[in-house]
Chain A
């Protein structure tokens, strides 16, 4: 696998950094190389934040920021009107948005796409999280959507990792809630 660069958009408190870390751990288990790094600023609960992930089958030497991502993950659809989430996205790149709207509706509200060919996926990760975990934290469901949309990670590995790593810290109810959440996200994510 060539170098794949991912940019995460979310708001402080939505688990963006946790999700970027989670993805790195899954990449590790799949024998891949990775980097995950947040953009540090004056972060506060609710403020827009970004994080980045690189995944590759060979060692990653780059230590600069990601300006031209292959994939953009948006954990909060209210960011679409305030942040240019498509900025720098590569041609044939893809965007996965946690939103109630359809991919077509999201596409219409996106700015800065221009002539670029972009594939858009949406899922209501907040609803899934509320129904499976009782909390509106969309980060883990979005990983399920990423598995479906890209195939860069395997759903089975994601579930395995949730059971292994969450199993050490949380009750089986929370662990299985997360498993249910990624499975539902995998099934419910829609593309344009």
Chain B
């Protein structure tokens, strides 16, 4: 039995955390993540969870505590944003290198300067090489659903990797939305009991974790193994997405292809903007214009084969990036998507739109402009400008 509640995106994440009942949560508050930890703290204070909540003095300490607790052999969660994620930096790589199944919300917020508390994906895009699985959410419902799935994915014996669940700061985190939640018992049985692997606290079988490996050790092999495990995580993510559908009525894949099958031009986007883009797609389809959308949900591991298959029939494609990679050629999603299509003999013309930095609103008009540009590209067979900035004052 599921029921609908009025929850903010952050409230939905905290609600899922209560149902997951992690053994340890170590966190430090940062806007716009704060209310996740605030609401979860109330659950702890009210005795609704058994969690050991560690209020640390920084995000570096938060992730360090999570790593220690996870290595000790318990289920661990945390949450952060922006500068907080940046401060966790070196610890992110340690969590993934040690194969610790920590689940963390990152409420997407840009990085200073200038100081700005609003949404873009600069923070998590910066962490894209850190060895964490990254799952993006379009709305509060998906943030809730992704949180529960993340636990199963992270802890699967074939995976054992940390997972980052992303939701857009303020746009989703602080907006109240209708969220269907599933029963506590269903969540409990869906995620199952935590099964520690080589826990530090098993003193009958002592292990060393995170030791110095040296020039002639197994560092390179460890990284190669992480790459292999990340690839293997794909089938687990897919299975968990299907299984979740059986208990909730909402199944998930690597991405959502929205009216894309017979589309001639399309856009690809992450997060909340996908919702607004769907409305634009519907409006243009009503006018008989064959447009479509690919909302990427799983950015790490990158579902290369599936993405190429979904996009290869398009004539023109716009990649919307809510992050820039300054000094590169286009945003991080653009370079990867365009590169993925390179091996095709017939491939769509691909252009990039960097949008919404520092919370700049992205509305239907801006997305319509992208589709209108794509139609021009389709008609003329050439893209005048590969990298575009959408909604910037120039």
Query: Could you tell me the distance between the alpha carbons of A153 and B26 in the complex, rounded to whole angstroms?
Result: 42
Query: Once the chains bind, are A34 and B176 in contact (CB under 8 Å)?
Result: yes
- A-side contacts of B273, CB under 8 Å: 63
Query: Could you tell me the distance between the alpha carbons of A40 and B278 in the complex, rounded to whole angstroms?
Result: 25
Query: Once the chains bind, are A63 and B176 in contact (CB under 8 Å)?
Result: no
Query: Could you tell me the distance between the alpha carbons of A59 and B362 in the complex, rounded to whole angstroms?
Result: 19
Query: Once the chains bind, are A62 and B276 in contact (CB under 8 Å)?
Result: yes
- A-side contacts of B118, CB under 8 Å: 40
Q: Is B347 an interface residue (CB 8 A)?
A: no
- B-side contacts of A64, CB under 8 Å: 276, 361-364
- B-side contacts of A34, CB under 8 Å: 6, 176-178
**Other-chain contact of B176, A24, A40, A61 (Cβ < 8 Å):** A24
Tell me the residues in window 288-319 of chain B with beta carbons closer than 8 Å to chain A beta carbons: none
B168 (CB) vs chain A CBs: closest residue: A63
**Other-chain contact of B172, A20, A24, A63 (Cβ < 8 Å):** A63
Answer whether A61 and B170 are a contact pair too, CB < 8 Å, given A28-B4, A28-B6, A35-B177.
Answer: no
Give 1 or 0 for each of B158-176: 1 = CB within 8 Å of chain A CB.
0000000000101110111
- B-side contacts of A37, CB under 8 Å: 170-171, 174-176
Count of chain A to chain B residue pairs whose CB atoms are closer than 8 Å in the complex: 60
Q: Is B209 an interface residue (CB 8 A)?
A: no
Query: Once the chains bind, are B6 and A21 in contact (CB under 8 Å)?
Result: yes
Q: Is A104 an interface residue (CB 8 A)?
A: no
Q: Is B279 an interface residue (CB 8 A)?
A: yes
Query: Could you tell me the distance between the alpha carbons of A33 and B141 in the complex, rounded to whole angstroms?
Result: 12
Tell me the residues in window 1-46 of chain A with beta carbons closer than 8 Å to chain B beta carbons: 20-21, 24-25, 27-28, 33-38, 40
Query: Once the chains bind, are A63 and B117 in contact (CB under 8 Å)?
Result: no
Give 1 or 0 for each of B190-208: 1 = CB within 8 Å of chain A CB.
0000000000000000000
- B-side contacts of A65, CB under 8 Å: 361, 363
Distance (Å) between the CB of A56 and the closest chain B CB?
Answer: 10
Query: Could you tell me the distance between the alpha carbons of A21 and B138 in the complex, rounded to whole angstroms?
Result: 21
Distance (Å) between the CB of A64 and the closest chain B CB?
Answer: 4
Distance (Å) between the CB of A112 and the closest chain B CB?
Answer: 20
Name A's interface SS: mixed
- A-side contacts of B278, CB under 8 Å: 61
Query: Could you tell me the distance between the alpha carbons of A36 and B175 in the complex, rounded to whole angstroms?
Result: 5
Q: Is B157 an interface residue (CB 8 A)?
A: no
- A-side contacts of B178, CB under 8 Å: 28, 33-34, 59
Give 1 or 0 for each of B136-172: 1 = CB within 8 Å of chain A CB.
0011000000000000000000000000000010111
- B-side contacts of A27, CB under 8 Å: 6
Q: Is A131 an interface residue (CB 8 A)?
A: no
A42 (CB) vs chain B CBs: closest residue: B117
Tell me the residues in window 159-177 of chain A with beta carbons closer than 8 Å to chain B beta carbons: none
Q: Is A105 an interface residue (CB 8 A)?
A: no
Q: Is B81 an interface residue (CB 8 A)?
A: no
Q: Is A67 an interface residue (CB 8 A)?
A: yes
Distance (Å) between the CB of A159 and the closest chain B CB?
Answer: 18
Distance (Å) between the CB of A162 and the closest chain B CB?
Answer: 15
B9 (CB) vs chain A CBs: closest residue: A37
Query: Once the chains bind, are B276 and A24 in contact (CB under 8 Å)?
Result: no
Query: Once the chains bind, are B279 and A61 in contact (CB under 8 Å)?
Result: yes
- A-side contacts of B363, CB under 8 Å: 64-65, 67
Query: Could you tell me the distance between the alpha carbons of A134 and B175 in the complex, rounded to whole angstroms?
Result: 30
Query: Could you tell me the distance between the alpha carbons of A28 and B4 in the complex, rounded to whole angstroms?
Result: 8
Query: Once the chains bind, are B272 and A63 in contact (CB under 8 Å)?
Result: yes
A40 (CB) vs chain B CBs: closest residue: B170
Answer whether A62 and B279 are a contact pair too, CB < 8 Å, given A36-B175, A67-B363.
Answer: yes
Taking A37-B176, A40-B117, A63-B138 as given, write out 19 further A-B residue pairs in contact, using a Cβ cutoff of 8 Å, ordered by the A residue number. A24-B6, A27-B6, A28-B5, A28-B178, A34-B177, A34-B178, A36-B6, A36-B175, A37-B170, A40-B170, A40-B174, A61-B276, A61-B279, A63-B168, A63-B172, A63-B175, A63-B276, A64-B361, A65-B361
User: Which 10 pairs from chain A and chain B are nearest by CB?
Assistant: A37-B175, A61-B275, A63-B272, A64-B363, A36-B176, A65-B361, A24-B176, A63-B275, A28-B6, A25-B6
Sample of 7 A–B contacts (CB below 8 Å): A35-B175, A35-B177, A36-B176, A37-B175, A62-B275, A63-B172, A64-B363
Residues of chain A at the chain B interface (Cβ within 8 Å): 20-21, 24-25, 27-28, 33-38, 40, 59-65, 67
Residues of chain B at the chain A interface (Cβ within 8 Å): 4-6, 117-118, 138-139, 168, 170-172, 174-178, 272-273, 275-276, 278-279, 361-364
